[in-house]
Structure 1
């Protein structure tokens, strides 16, 4: 199995790459800076690194990098700086998801490619009409106006829900929604739910990045896990926060 990981140099992306390599899978990572990957990963014999800005790649280059991959995972996100949140590209995650899906289709894969997108518990699954309080809805509306990355995350998910949908012959997808991300040194017990069981605004839980990486790797490599969650937007919490 070969997995393409974008956002591989980020805090969660690095952990996903490490988890996939530890399971013996080939990983193709697109990164803007090789130096942001730990030395142990950069020298791993199962890892191939593409040094590029993802959205600067041509359509042909994107198609080439996706070719031969049985799964694509996106851990892309905006840097928590003024430029990262309000500068260009405003639609980093959405444009990346769209272009990667177009590249998958251009390759005409023999079977569906698994697409796993890391998102956020603050993004509701509009297929399920998840109940939220008036206060929660009001705060999210304000966040949409003030923080462009939130809208980007919503639109990326909406692309998979509506433009790819449930019956695409080339792509199957899962959107993973962690709550407040924290750093831990090892995988711990965690719970996965179809929808949030607490308010990400007023009663947020916690999810360690390493647990997110572990769950994403399970989706990519384990058929049973994939069959359970494909076409859905599972929410993941560390044990004790669900």
Structure 2
């Protein structure tokens, strides 16, 4: 079995791939370009690289990608450029999540004993309405403005909502897909893993008192979700928020 990582050429996705390969796991990735992959990754026999735009793959091609994968990790995001933020596709993440889930369902119709894990990277600015999450009025106003002015935020919200709505924690879904939506706060780059804390909801105002989360810690948490059944069962069908801790390194 393998893990499929989409958004693998991004700053966080690359770290997820590195950690999976370091654990000796088989990994599939779908990337537009291999430019950001290291030579060691390109030459790693455990890494299967498909160079393509995910949304341009046919249904059959995408089904081939998810077949044999026990976990899907989605680190897709919009490029931080004018075209990336305001151009098409406006629903990059949502459409990718929807198509991946449909591909999983198609390939898993005859075998639903072991659910496929779906890990979605999201944002602490995405309020978990279905869990009854409450946020300060000042934050709610700011987020509503961001939602209107910055389309990728609305895309992230819709992607998480798709998983919540279509795969609630009920027996009626036959456990084809179980998911965790990981919500980091302000992302920063660090070289090494450090201690971090996980909460079911934000403990800070994400606009006016934001915390920080290193990308490598997000990758570490995702790897732990994949490898540790107890941790997965703790957070499945939830939207945990991850912050860097101030108590030192792991």
Which TM bucket (shorter chain)? over 0.9
Return the match for 2:191 from 185, 197, 200.
185
Return the match for 1:232 from 238, 245, 249.
238
Structure-2 residue corresponding to 1:147: 150
Return the match for 2:210 from 204, 213, 228.
204
| 1:30-109 aligned within 5 A | 30-108=30-108, 109=111
Structure-1 residue corresponding to 2:133: 130
TM-superposed CA distance for 1:77, in Å, is: 0.3
Structure-2 residue corresponding to 1:223: 229
Taking the aligned partners of 2:23 and 2:188, their CA distance within structure 1 comes to: 24
Taking the aligned partners of 1:46 and 1:101, their CA distance within structure 2 comes to: 24
Taking the aligned partners of 1:83 and 1:115, their CA distance within structure 2 comes to: 28
Taking the aligned partners of 2:189 and 2:151, their CA distance within structure 1 comes to: 25
SS at match of 1:198: coil
Structure-1 residue corresponding to 2:12: 12
TM-superposed CA distance for 1:240, in Å, is: 2.3
TM-score, with normalisation over the residues of structure 2? 0.94
User: For each residue in 1:127-183, what CA deviation from the matched residue of structure 2 results, as whole angstroms up to 9, or x when unmatched?
Assistant: 222121111110111011100000000000000000122233210000000000000
SS at match of 2:15: helix
Return the match for 2:220 from 211, 214, 217.
214
Taking the aligned partners of 2:149 and 2:226, their CA distance within structure 1 comes to: 34
SS at match of 1:36: coil
TM-score, with normalisation over the residues of structure 1? 0.97
Taking the aligned partners of 1:77 and 1:178, their CA distance within structure 2 comes to: 14
Which runs of 5 or more residues in structure 2 are unaligned? none
SS at match of 1:64: helix
Return the match for 2:176 from 170, 181, 185.
170
SS at match of 1:73: strand
Taking the aligned partners of 1:41 and 1:225, their CA distance within structure 2 comes to: 28
